[in-house]
A and B are shown apart, each in its own frame.
Chain A
Amino acid sequence: MSYITIEGVHKRFVRRGQWTEALSNIQLDIEQGSFVSFIGPSGCGKSTLLRIIGGLMDAEEGEIAIGGQSPQELLKAKQFGFVPQQPALFPWRTVLQNMNIPFEVNRQKVFNPVEQGDPIKLLQAVGLGDFVHAYPRELSGGMKQRVGIARAFATGAPILLMDEPFSALDEITKEVLMHQLKTIWEEHKKTVLFVTHNIQEAVYLSDKVVVMSARPGRVSRVIDIKLARPRDESVIGSQAFNDYMAELRESLRERWG
């Protein structure tokens, strides 16, 4: 049963005075409560696609329906939790005050903070229980990104859009955050659209990996990851996991250009 339906989406940009096809005829179905990764070379339009689904950009052609509604309607109803590549934390606000931004930008009373996830509990879940009143400059890059992820879950928004949240982090931090994200997600079961460059991340976290290729940006393959849930580290290095990694690497290599 498809929740997000993407039909024939096209997006063009002017680059150096010429029209370039950023996205060409994207067709995709995404189920509710699934974790979907978008992977591909830079310039394949994966971040653009994420923004079009999230109502932050418009497509020139095509239809996107999310539970029968348009991305704009969902944006107005605050159904998206956005985690950008650079953690969007305001430096003059403490961690907790940053967690509260979605509830303050809320004149239409879409969110009822009482019914949402407890921000302090979520911060504890990502190991930041002692940093609730710290300012962003006191946090490392990994800690900032964890606040961003906890915040996305705290609003209770059903669709979380994550644009390469781990790409600026070192390998060890990246791995720790990957496990934490998986743990929170398995508890909350939101629909997550996750843009990444990292093959291991994509296989470990996802139910479905969308492989994209560049010039023009399009979907070259969709791979279903049928590893059992809940997953833990032991799955990494298993035969099935390695097979998925190899399959993904292969399909990326033939499209890389």
Chain B
Amino acid sequence: MRKNARIFDSPYRGKEKMRSDTRVVFACLPFAVMFAFSTVRRLQAQDNSAPANMASIDPYLMDRDSEIAMARSAAPQSIAKDATVMALGRHGYETAVEGKNGFACLVGRSWDLPKNNPAFWDPKIHGPICLSAPAVRSFLPIYLKKTELAIAGRSNDQIEDVIIKGIAKGELPTPEPGSVSYMMSKQGYLNASIKGPWLPHVMFFVPEIDPKALGSDLGDDVPLGAREEKIGRYTTIDVPVSNWSDGTPSPKMTGGH
């Protein structure tokens, strides 16, 4: 665990002396965004104890109604109720509910983490997220491809290679303007270190830009986090917000972080 904390502290903030409460928030940010295709790419450590590929899909499957509810909890009801909902099946994600507002909600699994993340195959990982229509077009295909490869038994290295090559060849997309997602669920389990959903936040995607040019990493007082996703050739911007999707306040936000 100590190793994990160091790994995820360092690439995100690059600081050793953050205030403890701030550390909790910002050190966890990569986990919060793990499903939504934003992640740490400078991780150096390799946990050799982690499995190389998925042993079975079974541990990752959920009760369908529970999965639908969890997926919808990612965004306020005004968005989620009319969104398409996708649920993980044995052969990949399936449309469980047809939507009509262009958003798609689903529960992300661990294989969207960086390939060196020890939790890459952790079946406890659940990242509820609702993607806007541009994000559905330009981000979801990458995650669905990862899912397809994971279920097919590919290793984390192989999955990443396929994604890199797919983007390079133009077979997989890069972010469209207006690609945004909501991750405001109380129900998420983003990583064993967090043991929960981190903070409610809005995350959006822009073409590659230096996080510092957004203010990220410049100081503990900056209310956003950004990270370059080299694999996907984009930058994610995460802005924690005050309330969970159910309207209740986030204690960490209202109390400051």
Bound pair: A and B? Answer: no
B binding-site residues for A, Cβ under 8 Å: none
